[in-house]
A and B are shown apart, each in its own frame.
With several copies, the nearest count.
Chain A
Amino acid sequence: MKIDEYQAKEIFTQYNIPTPQEILCKTPQEVKQASRKIGKKVVVKAQVKVGGRGKAGGVKLANNPQEAEEVGKQILGMEIKGLKVQKVLVSEAVEIKSESYVGFTNDRSSKKIVCMASPAGGVDIEEVAKETPDKIYKILVDPLKGGLHDFQARNLAFKLYDDVKSVRQTVSILKALYKAYIGTDASLVEINPLVENGEGKLIALDAKFNFDDNALYRHPEIAKMREVLPAEKVEREAKEKGLSYIKLDGFIGCMVNGAGLAMAAMDMIKLFGGNPANFLDIGGSSNPKKVINAMKILLNDDNVQVVMINIFGGITRCDDVANGLMEAFDALKINLPVVIRLTGTNEKEGLEILKQNKELILANSMQDAAKKAIELANK
């Protein structure tokens, strides 16, 4: 789960990570007042959950309250990658002596937490990682070995700064950031850039936080921050119904049990020249309701020209699945061709049941199903 910059900054403040003076605003008038209150040059920043807002014109400097109001008018309401800007953060303009990057994320291969730092801050860190990987310093942090030790933070800080004053500030920011990371069950936290201002004070100019969905039950205050983006609405609703759905831009709707098998089916469609309209994993149950809900999602997607169902009955028996499918088809009006491949435990019994519905197109393998679906879509 992602949150907005202003929300991330609120968490930073809780953990005593220094941020600029900032006020969240929803109207140009509020922007003007905020600018006046801050009493110096401000930066007005669009609050959207996608990257690249700067390039899109979503971040602008204003020299006085009048300019701020003007800039507020420009940014509020604009669209960035399809998202309408409804909030801006009015932030004191900070004199920047140097910019660096610090962050934490989980590291799969070491099974630990990795702390990253780079003196090349203020730019896309993934670019830095590709272009000049030697400018990114990493240490592994083991929460079962006392977490981030002072000496680790210090060693990393010495990679960013030479003077003890900045090193000390970096150590305390890294320690606080780690505490925030652990304390919120984050999966990513970044300060980019971490800037040194005119007085030599380090400040988190931007803030990014992603959280582990599986741990949100421990953090109701963060779960409350969830805002479903319009593009994610269907995926979110599917999830609430126990389905895992992702919309793509193809025309063959897929319904599969199991994520790996679903990806295999999609790959096969592609292999044979088709294009999958979605990823849709209905999981391990033969509950007809799930099949109905899944089918509804596919039918609501105007791009879908044909539906391909691929089920491998494991513990779930094929006859149960077939009954579920029949029930689902009875409950819905389906005006698209449906190709079904059903195999595994009690396959025969399952297929017997499916044969009752003459409109269903049966396939005897995943390949067969993919080929038939593509053929029907091309008609």
Chain B
Amino acid sequence: MSILINNETKLIVQGITGRDGGFHASRMKQYGTNVVGGVSPGKGGQKVDGIPVFNSMQKAVAETGGNTSIIFVPARFAADAIYEAADSGVDVIVTVTEGIPVQDMIKATQFAAENDVNLIGPNSPGLISPGQAKVGILPGKIFEQGKVGVMSRSGTLTYEVVDHITKAGLGESTCIGIGGDPIIGMTFIDYLKLFEADPQTEAIVMIGEIGGDAEEQAAKFIKENMTKSVVGFIVGKTAPPGKRMGHAGAIISSGSGTAAEKIAALKKAGIPVANQPNEIPQIIESKI
């Protein structure tokens, strides 16, 4: 098993004729993901690395049976790409694009929810179910099929953590970058539900950061609903209030959303919190 993507994933790459879209389409294909098509309006009929390009998601889904899409289109067209994907009938949409206006995302996340689509991101590195499929820009080599579910608001920090998990021989079931923006599709709780139901996943790592209260809400959910162990790791202890730490969502506003609050909430819910990434594998091993 795994969550959201697996051997049966049929991927369509929206914005495949762009630089990033084309590059990562090839990388995902190399990893073994079944990339069935790409979309680029006006370039229908072309091929990118052997992958057929269509003018619309509607047509791409009709012709390839695609069930998952990944979006690389520029920020100002990205919300429309989400609408198009949500309307096309795919089950999972991964939005890599960064810098989408927040008010566009307020509408797009709602639209996706009403269409019962799993929307990951935006500003997400994507996700990987090692050995099965990669839908995103994550470096495939550092992952190993295994028992830990990882969900994170960050990109490279996730790689750092995963590197420790893989080297400890635990491996990952599915690893997800949930997106660094303030308004994102699926949140920690949505993934927790899926991990709880996934037989392959034995423990979950939640990598949080300053800003918002997603970690606090997840802590409450974990305490009340999860039977599987969750390990937390929160970064941004040194971040000053009012300053955006790279990610649009990583900002301490009016004193709330601090790392200290989040760590306290997790601990209060009985969730172990690692001080450093290298501690994570030990904590997991002590729990499973």
Q: Are B41 and A315 in contact (CB under 8 A)?
A: no
Indicate whether A326 reaches chain B with its CB closer than 8 angstroms: no
- Which of B111, B152, B238 is the one whose CB lies under 8 Å from A270? B238
- Which of B57, B107, B137, B160 is the one whose CB lies under 8 Å from A146? B107
Indicate whether A225 reaches chain B with its CB closer than 8 angstroms: no
Q: Are B210 and A343 in contact (CB under 8 A)?
A: no
CB neighbours of B55 from chain A (8 A) = 154, 158
Interface residues of A in 165-192 (CB under 8 A from B): 167, 182, 185, 187
How many A-B contacts if CB must be within 8 Å?
Answer: 199
Q: Are B137 and A314 in contact (CB under 8 A)?
A: yes
Indicate whether B138 reaches chain A with its CB closer than 8 angstroms: yes
Indicate whether B27 reaches chain A with its CB closer than 8 angstroms: yes
Q: Are A270 and B237 in contact (CB under 8 A)?
A: yes
Report A94 CB to chain B, min CB distance, Å.
Answer: 25
Residue of A nearest to B180 (CB): A259
CB neighbours of B272 from chain A (8 A) = none
Q: Known contacts A155-B58, A312-B156, A345-B141; is A108 also within 8 Å of B76 by CB?
A: no
Quick check: which of A19-27, A55-63, A260-268 contacts chain B, the rest being far away? A260-268
Residue of B nearest to A158 (CB): B55
Q: Are B246 and A314 in contact (CB under 8 A)?
A: no
Q: Are B142 and A281 in contact (CB under 8 A)?
A: no
Quick check: which of A78-86, A109-117, A193-201 contacts chain B, the rest being far away? A109-117
Interface residues of B in 235-254 (CB under 8 A from A): 235-240, 243-250, 254
Q: Are A214 and B237 in contact (CB under 8 A)?
A: no
Q: Are B106 and A106 in contact (CB under 8 A)?
A: yes
Quick check: which of A3-11, A137-145, A295-303, A351-359 contacts chain B, the rest being far away? A137-145
- Which of B138, B153, B182 gathers most chain A CB within 10 Å? B182
- Which of A152, A154, A214 is the one whose CB lies under 8 Å from B100? A214
| Interface size class of chain A, counting residues whose CB lies under 8 Å from the partner chain | 35 or more
Quick check: which of B191-199, B222-230, B274-282 contacts chain A, the rest being far away? B274-282
Query: How long is the Cα–Cα vector from A294 to B210 in the complex, in angstroms?
Result: 24
- Which of B57, B214, B235 is the one whose CB lies under 8 Å from A109? B214
Report A20 CB to chain B, min CB distance, Å.
Answer: 27
- Which of A111, A142, A263, A314 is the one whose CB lies under 8 Å from B209? A263
CB neighbours of A182 from chain B (8 A) = 103
CB neighbours of A240 from chain B (8 A) = none
Query: Per-position contact with A for B116-156: 1 when CB-CB < 8 Å, else 0?
Result: 00000000000000000000011101100000000011111
CB neighbours of A345 from chain B (8 A) = 139, 141-142
Q: Are A109 and B213 in contact (CB under 8 A)?
A: yes
Indicate whether A135 reaches chain B with its CB closer than 8 angstroms: no
- Which of B41, B156, B180, B278 is the one whose CB lies under 8 Å from A154? B41
Q: Are A143 and B247 in contact (CB under 8 A)?
A: no
Interface residues of A in 281-304 (CB under 8 A from B): 281, 284
Query: How long is the Cα–Cα vector from A109 to B139 in the complex, in angstroms?
Result: 30
Q: Are B137 and A263 in contact (CB under 8 A)?
A: no
- Which of A143, A279, A366 is the one whose CB lies under 8 Å from B277? A366
Indicate whether B87 reaches chain A with its CB closer than 8 angstroms: yes
Q: Are A151 and B238 in contact (CB under 8 A)?
A: no
Indicate whether A246 reaches chain B with its CB closer than 8 angstroms: yes
Interface residues of A in 89-124 (CB under 8 A from B): 106, 108-109, 111-113
Report B17 CB to chain A, min CB distance, Å.
Answer: 12
Residue of A nearest to B187 (CB): A109
CB neighbours of B210 from chain A (8 A) = 263
- Which of B87, B153, B247 is the one whose CB lies under 8 Å from A151? B87
CB neighbours of B57 from chain A (8 A) = 151
Q: Are B275 and A271 in contact (CB under 8 A)?
A: yes
| Interface size class of chain B, counting residues whose CB lies under 8 Å from the partner chain | 35 or more
Interface residues of B in 260-288 (CB under 8 A from A): 275-278
CB neighbours of A276 from chain B (8 A) = 238
Residue of B nearest to A275 (CB): B238
- Which of A109, A158, A258, A270 gathers most chain B CB within 10 Å? A258
CB neighbours of B137 from chain A (8 A) = 314-315
Q: Are B27 and A261 in contact (CB under 8 A)?
A: no
Indicate whether A257 reaches chain B with its CB closer than 8 angstroms: yes
Report B219 CB to chain A, min CB distance, Å.
Answer: 13
Residue of B nearest to A272 (CB): B276
Q: Are B56 and A263 in contact (CB under 8 A)?
A: no
Q: Known contacts A214-B248, A271-B276, A345-B141; is A248 also within 8 Å of B103 by CB?
A: no
- Which of B24, B27, B102 is the one whose CB lies under 8 Å from A106? B102
- Which of A144, A155, A313, A367 is the one whose CB lies under 8 Å from B56? A155
CB neighbours of B81 from chain A (8 A) = 151
Q: Known contacts A108-B212, A126-B254, A312-B156; is A267 also within 8 Å of B236 by CB?
A: yes
Residue of A nearest to B255 (CB): A126
Interface residues of B in 27-59 (CB under 8 A from A): 27, 41-42, 55-58
Q: Are B76 and A217 in contact (CB under 8 A)?
A: yes
Report B182 CB to chain A, min CB distance, Å.
Answer: 5
Residue of B nearest to A218 (CB): B101
Query: How long is the Cα–Cα vector from A201 to B255 in the complex, in angstroms?
Result: 35
Q: Are A258 and B154 in contact (CB under 8 A)?
A: yes
Q: Are B107 and A143 in contact (CB under 8 A)?
A: yes
Q: Are B237 and A312 in contact (CB under 8 A)?
A: no
Report B105 CB to chain A, min CB distance, Å.
Answer: 8
Q: Are B160 and A264 in contact (CB under 8 A)?
A: yes
In the assembled complex, 5 residue pairs joining A and B whose CB atoms fall closer than 8 Å, in A order, are A106-B102, A111-B109, A244-B246, A261-B156, A314-B139
Query: A: which residues have CB within 8 A of B?
Result: 106, 108-109, 111-113, 126, 129, 142-146, 149-152, 154-155, 158, 164, 167, 182, 185, 187, 212, 214-215, 217-218, 244, 246, 248, 256-264, 266-271, 276, 279, 281, 284, 312-315, 343-345, 365-367
